[in-house]
A = this chain, B = another copy of it.
Amino acid sequence: MKAGTDLAQIASLVGDPARANMLAALMNGAALTASELALEAGVTLPTASAHLAKLSAGGLMRMTRQGRHRYYALADHQVAGMLEVIMGVAAALGPKKVLPGPRDNAMREARICYDHLAGEMGVAMFDAFVERDLLAVNGDDVALTKRGTAFFCDFGIDLAAMQGKRRPVCRACLDWSVRRSHLAGSLGAAIFERFVALKWARREKGTRIIRFTPPGRQSFALMLRD
């Protein structure tokens, strides 16, 4: 009985559409003001204020004052993780393909998932690698092919250093915004590092968004094609 009460308490905080929209808007890790969140949720300021008070009291949010602004953010990683899991269930259950995922275009296009590229560009990259026989997919398993080994070495990645480590080299990671796989593992991380080193892309400070430079975008497209 007690277990259910706790469960309900947290879930009901997330269970209101206005609050859920606010929480979803904060999933990129940024902190937003009360006004911005009100806009995001489609309610007036007083209503938003009441919701924010509840979320804070419930421990799901953390607030910092800065002058006359109050910035709200998710309380911690655990809360963000919980929201991801719930969205995962929602995505798996809802057969409605009506463009799920972040409203934030930049987030949907390219973002950091731990330490590798996710979003539409991440999925496109993964698909291209498989298409070109650089990666071999077998169920949930992903492995480097001979061609792939040559290709990534050529791209400037030290594959030898990854072998035999605890962390898997290739791993498929399900993208909640697109519901398709992208590349994780040490190779996924190394590729993203290389993108940054080549100045093709950089992380936007304080968020999980990845911004590609115009030339970087071009090089990226080229890399997938040939």
Contact = CB atoms under 8 A, between A and B. Distances in A.
B166 A167 contact: no
A12 B10 contact: no
A143 B166 CA distance: 8
B166 A171 contact: yes
Dominant SS at the A interface? Answer: helix
Copy total for this chain: 2
Given A1-B21, A168-B168, A15 B6 contact: no
A182 interface: no
B101 A3 contact: yes
Nearest to A172: B166
A53 interface: no
Given A9-B94, A11-B14, A168-B168, 17 more contacts: A1-B103, A2-B100, A3-B100, A4-B21, A4-B41, A6-B87, A6-B90, A7-B87, A8-B17, A10-B86, A11-B20, A12-B12, A82-B85, A141-B166, A143-B166, A166-B171, A167-B168
6 contacts: A1-B40, A2-B103, A8-B20, A12-B12, A15-B15, A78-B92
Interface of A: 1-17, 19-25, 27, 40-42, 58-60, 75, 78-79, 81-83, 85-94, 98-103, 140-144, 163-171, 185
